[in-house]
Each structure stands twice: as structure tokens, then as C-alpha cells.
Structure 1
Amino acid sequence: MPRIAPHALAIPSSGIRRIFELAAGLDDVVHLHVGEPGLAVAPHVLAAGARAWEDDVTRYTANGGIPGLRAAIARKLLRDNALEVDPDQVWVTAGGMQALHQALSLTLDAGEEVLVPDPGYTNFSMAARHVGAVPVPYRLDPATGFQPDLADLERAITPRTRVLLVNSPSNPLGVVHPAAVLRDLVTFAARHDLWVVSDEVYERFTYGVPHVSTATLDPDGRVLSVFSFSKTYALTGARVGWLVAPAAWAPMLRSAQEAVVSCVNAPAQLAALAALDGDQGVVDDAREHYRGTLEAACELLRAKGIRFHRPQGAFYLWVDVAHASGGDVEAWCAEFLLTRRVAVAPGTAFGARGEGWVRVCVAGERADVLAGLARFPE
């Protein structure tokens, strides 16, 4: 038989999905492992998608997306992110993951390197391997509030480094990088002539601190920005995100989009447009719901004497279980699921520096979150 491409075999499996699959066969599980908003989609968004299906809006759209949606995204970026872009720079994608994949596939050649945060979202390394590139972790340390260290980044640079990946608000940590840190990262990238891929999927969920879009601090046009409707509007299964790229990339992106998905399905795009142009109160309500759940969860963990990182954004808690996990947090999570019926994501799913930690999603029902955390060992 012909061989499978080596880079395909190098794609790491997801430690989150392993817990997901194990939990799927069990009853009475408290599900705190997957980043899935538990709140309902706004009725006007559901109605827009349903109307599109009923009206047979099922043909191809332009590769970059429905013009009205691209224009609405550009208006949103100017209004909310202080980021002025032309609609032609906005490329509607099949979720934030395809936006990430497009960004990496267009900036990395086989064997080249991308600097990824550790701990950081599992799919950063998976997407890099998928395009034949090499993810190189840069350290995020609890002693510095999980903010990146420029000296550590300098040590990670090699002649093959082409991309710096930045994630704020962070999955899994809930860390928000302030403007000064992002400016330093952009300056670092310019010094080494790197592209910057900025994952801002959790932009609408910050608590007491502002979200700053990395591209607003970029004078050279080296930042590619990744966004999504999934978390903001609880549209995870609709698969709509977007990539903001330099205007000169339009011909290249048109071909790349055609080669991968042609275009995102039209009803989902119209639902996304309704979400963006409709009442944003649902997003404000979601943020306050997550804030309240995080406060209650932090109070419970404090009372139990369990160490955790207090997040400034997203909807996750990063919890230290090293006192119980015995140096193998992945095995501990499986055992915790089987014996205590609580599913959490092992920290090592997010990089080697996640050993001894777990990620807890607090986006579901507050009672479920608190019930699951109450079962954590003291």
C-alpha cells in the first residue's frame, strides 16, 4: 500500500476529545470539559437561519462570504475593536478553526516553525502539524500571571521560525494580554520578521479589563486576526468565523478558500449576520452569567483550599490538582471521570506545562459547575 504522508501521522490527538469520548458512554456525568456555551441561541438568530433554509438560500456564495456579512464584520471591527479594515480583508470561514488553519497554511512551509503558547489551545499545535509545520512552545508561567516572557521567546527563535501565535483572551487560562504586552510581542515579531496570528475568539468575554486587538498595535500589517461567532453567540455547531488578512492577499485567499471549502454554507452566514446586526444584549447577558459563575466557582475552590488561576477572560478555570494527580494528570482525569462522574480537560492537553492542572469550563449551568467542583479532592 502507498504510505500516508508523514505530516498527517504527526498530528497529535486531542486530550479533550479523549475525555469527551470516554464521558459519552457514561451516565450522570457533570460535563465541564468541552468549551460549549450552555446558553440558548437568540431567537432572532435561529429565525434568520431557519428562514434561509425555508427560502431555499442554499446556493454558493462568494468565496470570502456574503458581502453583507463581510461589511457587517468590518463595521463591528471598527466599532468594537478600533480596527479599520476593508470588507475585502474579511474572509468568512468554517469557524475560527478554519481561519486559524488558513492563516497557518499561508504563512508556513513544511518544516518551518510557529511559536505557540504553553499552556495553549490544543488545536494550535494540531493545525501546525496538519500543514507540515513544527509547533514550538513558549512558556506561560503562573509566577508571572501566565504572561509571555520575551527572553523565553528569544530563546525559542531559530532560523526556521516564521510565525508567532498569540491568544488573548486565552484558552485554557482565561489570561488577557494588556496592550503593553501585545505591543512588545508585535515588536518582537518585527525584529525577527515574523507573521503574528492573533486568536481573539473570546474577545467579548473579559471581566474588568479591556480586550485589545493585536492588529491595532501593528504598523506593518504583519498581524492576521482570527475571530469566531461560536463562543460569542453560542453558535459552535454553525461553524462560522472569520480571518482578517492584508488586502493584498485577496487573490491568494480566494484560491485557498476555493481549494478548502469553496464557501461557508449560506444559511449559517445569514444567521451570523443576524447575530451581528441584532440586539447585543444576549452577549452582555452571557458575559454577566459567566462572570457570576466564575465568582461562585472561585469562592468554592478557595473554601476547599484548592489553588487556581483567576481568569480575566473567556469562561474557563485553570485548577491545580497536582496534590492529587500524582504526576499524571491525564490518567487522573480519566479516573476522576469514572469514579466521581466529573469530566474535566487534563492540563497536558494544552501542552507539557499543563501537567498537574485541569481546565474547567464554566459556560454551562451554574449548579452543574458547582456540583462538579465540589467533588474535587482537597
Structure 2
Amino acid sequence: MPSLASQVSSVPNSGIRRIHEIALQLDDVIRLAVGEPDVAVAPHVLDAGSAAWLADDTDYTANGGIPELRAAIKTKLAERNGIDVDTEQVWVTIGATQALNLAMSLTLSPGDEVLLPDPGYTTFTMNARMLGAEPVPYPLHPAAGFVPSIDELEKLVTERTRLIIVNSPSNPLGAVYPAEILAQLLDFASRHDMWVISDEVYEAFSYGAPHTSMASLDTEDRVFSVFSVSKTYAMTGARVGYLVTPPGLAETMRTYQEAIISCVDTPAQRAAVAAITGDQGAVGAAAAHYRGNLDAATALLDEAGISYLPPTGAFYLWIDISHASDGDVAGWAESFLLRERVSVAPGSAFGRSGEGWIRVCVAASREDLLEGLRRLPRP
């Protein structure tokens, strides 16, 4: 058999998926490792997707998506994100995962360096390695509230640095960066002529700290923005996201979309139109549910004396378990799953700075969430 491409062996596995795969083979597991909303999809969204299937609305669409969805996204961006774009800057993708891969493919050449958050979402590193680029983690420290330090970022820049990835609200941390921090990051990118990818998948869920879209502050057309309907509308399996590009890339985007996916399936796009343009009550209800779960969970952790990062967004808790993990939180999480039948994501899956921490998804039933947390070892 011929050998695979040289970069294949450098692509790390997902430590989250490892725990999830083990959990799927066990009975009676409380699953808190994967970011899967536990709320139902709104009926009008289901109706729109079902109607498309029943009408045999299953032909190819334009590479960028159906006109109705691109128009709906354009309006949404202007009204909710403060971003004014042309339709040709909006590209419907197979979830935010493809949008992220597409943006990184457009901005990185083999050997280029990309600054990415540590702790940060696992596919940031995976994508960089797949493209033959070099991931350069920028540390996010607990003492600083996991906010990026411009001084530390400056020390990481080399002549090969081409891109910085910013994630707010953050997965796994639940941190929401204030507008002034995002503006500083844009100034930093401008000084070094970098591209910026702004991952805003959890935009709908912020608590007491308003979400700001980086592109709304961008005056130099250097930001690619990644969004999704998966988390906002509990449509993870529908696989609909979108990438918002700087202007002038339409022909390039058409070429890349055609080569990679051609288009997103039509019924899923019809459902996304209904989600974005229809009643948003389900989104508000989901946010209230997650906020209530976070409040209940943090009260339990406070009582148990277990430290955590107070979240201001997303639907995760970043919990310090270093008193029990003995320097190997990945191994501890696996043993904890087998022993206590609770799956949690090991912090080391999100980068070296995550050692000793775990990520818990609070998008679960209140009963399961609290029972799972009760099984954590106390200091």
C-alpha cells in the first residue's frame, strides 16, 4: 500500500470524541462531554425541512446557498451582529466545521503559522495540521480570566505568522470577550498584517456580557466570521453553518465550494431559513434553560468546594479537577467514566493549558447535570 500524505500523522485525535465513543458502549451513562443541545427543534423549523423533503426539493443549489437563506443571513448579520455585507460575502457551509476549514484553507499555506487559543476548540489544531501549517498556541490564563494577552501574543509572532483565531463566546471556556479586547486583537492583527478568523458559533448564548462580532469592528477587511445554526437552533445534525468573508472573494469561494461540497443539501437550507427568519422564542427559552442549569451547577460546585471559571457565555462549565487528576486529566476522565458512568471532556483535549481541567456541557437535563457533578471528587 502507498504511504499517506506526510502531514496525516501530525493531525491529533480528538480527546473529546475518544471519551464519547467509550460512553456510547456503556449503559446508564450521564453524557456531559459533547456539546449537544438537549432542547427540541422548534416546530416551524421541522415543518420547513419536512416540507422540502416531501416536495422533492432536493436539487443542487448555487454554491453559496439558496437565495432565501443568503438573504436571511445578510439581514440577520445587519440586525443582530452589526455587520453590513453583500450577499456574495455569505457562504452556506456544512456546519461551522466546514466554514472553519474553508477559512483556514484560504488563509494558510504549508509552513505558515497560525495563532490559536489554548485552551481552544480541538479542530483549530486539527485543521492547521491537515493543511501543513504550524499551530502556535497562545495561552489563556485563569488568573487573567482566560482573556488573551497582547504582550504574550507579540512574543509569538514570526515572519511566518499569517492568521490568528479568536473564539468568543469560547468553547470550552464559556468566556465572552469585551469589545475593547476584540479591538485590541484587531489592532494586533493589523500591525502584523494577519488574517483573523472569528469563531462565533455560540453567539446566541451570553449572560450579562454582550456578544460583539469582530467583523463589526473591522475597518480593513481582514476578518472571516464563522457562524452556525447548530447550537442556536439545536440543529446539530442538520449541518448548516455559514462563512462571512471579506469582500472580493466570490469567484474564489465558488471554486472552493464546488471542489469541496458543491452545496449544502436543500431541505436543511429550507429549515435554516425558517430558523433564522421565524419566531425566536425557542432560542430565548434555550438560553434561559442553559442559564438556569449554569446557576444550579455552580451553586453545587461552590458547596462542594470545587473551583471553576464563572461562565459568561456558551453552555459549558470549565472545572478545575487538578486535585484528583494527578497530572493526567485525560486518563482521569476515562477512569471516571468507567467508574462513575459520567462522561466529561478532558481539558487537555483543548490544549496544554487545559491540563487539570474538564469541560462539562450544561445543555442537559437539570437532573442529569447535577447528578453527574455530584459524582466529581471533592478537594
Where do 5+ consecutive residues of structure 2 fail to align?
Answer: none
Unaligned runs of 5+ in 1: none
String of CA shifts for 1:248-307, please: whole Å, max 9, x gaps. 100000000000000000000000000011100100010010000000000000000000
Partner of 1:350: 350
Deviation at 1:2, TM superposition (A): 2.0
Residue 98 of structure 1 corresponds to 98
C-alpha distance in structure 1 between counterparts of 2:4 and 2:27, whole Å: 38
Q: Compare 356-365 and 1-10 and name the one that shifted more.
A: 1-10
- 1:202 aligns with 202
The corresponding residue for 1:109 is 109
Q: For residues 185 and 136 of structure 2, what CA distance do their matches in structure 1 show? A: 16
Structure 1 CA distance, aligned partners of 2:31 and 2:205? 21
| Residue 119 of structure 2: aligned partner | 119
Match of residue 237 from structure 1: 237
State the alpha-carbon separation in 1 of the partners of residues 68 and 7 from structure 2.
38
Q: Distance in 2 between matches of 1:267 and 1:244?
A: 22
Q: Which residue of 1 aligns with 2:213?
A: 213
RMSD: 0.6
Q: State the shift of 1:247 in Å.
A: 2.3
Give the equivalent residue in structure 2 for 1:261.
Answer: 261
Partners of 2:8 and 2:40 in 1: CA distance: 36
2:312 matches 1:309: no
Give yes or no for contact 2:112–2:133 (8 Å, CA) kept in 1.
yes
Aligned partner of 1:180 in structure 2 is: 180
Contact kept? 2:221, 2:247, Cα under 8 Å: no
Secondary structure of the corresponding residue to residue 6 of structure 1: coil
Mapping of residues 138-153 of structure 1, within 5 Å: 138-153=138-153
Match of 2:60 in 1: 60
Comparing 2-11 and 313-322, the one that deviates more = 2-11
Structure 2 counterparts to residues 1-378 of structure 1, below 5 A = 1-378=1-378
Q: Distance between the aligned counterparts of 1:297 and 1:180, measured in 2?
A: 30
Deviation at 1:54, TM superposition (A): 0.4
Secondary structure at the counterpart of residue 21 of structure 1: helix
CA distance in 2, matches of 1:289, 1:37: 10
TM-score (norm 2): 0.99
TM-score (norm 1): 0.99
Tell me the secondary structure at the aligned position of residue 146 of structure 2. coil
Contact preservation (8 Å) 2:169, 2:314? yes
Q: Which amino acid aligns with 1:28?
A: D
User: What do residues 58-115 of structure 1 show as CA deviations (whole Å, max 9, x unaligned)?
Assistant: 1100000001100100100110011111111100000000000000000000111110
Asked if the contact 2:39/2:234 (under 8 Å) is kept, the reply is yes
Report the secondary structure of 2:117's partner residue.
strand
- Conserved? CA contact 2:118–2:352, under 8 Å: yes
What's the CA shift for 1:217? 1.1
User: 1:159-204 CA distances to partner (integer Å, 9 max, x unpaired)?
Assistant: 1110000000000000000000000000000000000000000000
Shift of 1:133: 1.1
Judge conservation of contact 2:205–2:313 (CA < 8 Å) in 1: yes
Separation in 2, partners of 1:178, 1:216: 13
Identity of aligned residues (%): 61
Deviations 1:313-353 (A, max 9, x none): 00000000000001000000000000001100000000000
What number of residue pairs does the alignment pair up?
A: 378
Pairwise CA distance, 1:132: 1.5
Query: 1:134 and 1:270 mapped to 2: Cα distance?
Result: 38
Task: Determine the C-alpha separation between the residues in 2 that align with 1:325 and 1:209.
Answer: 32
Looking at structure 2, the residues matched to 109 and 2 of structure 1 have their Cα atoms a distance apart, in angstroms, of 25
Find the aligned partners of 1:341 and 1:65 in 2 and give their Cα distance.
42
Shift of 1:151: 1.1
Q: What amino acid sits opposite 1:14 in the alignment? A: S
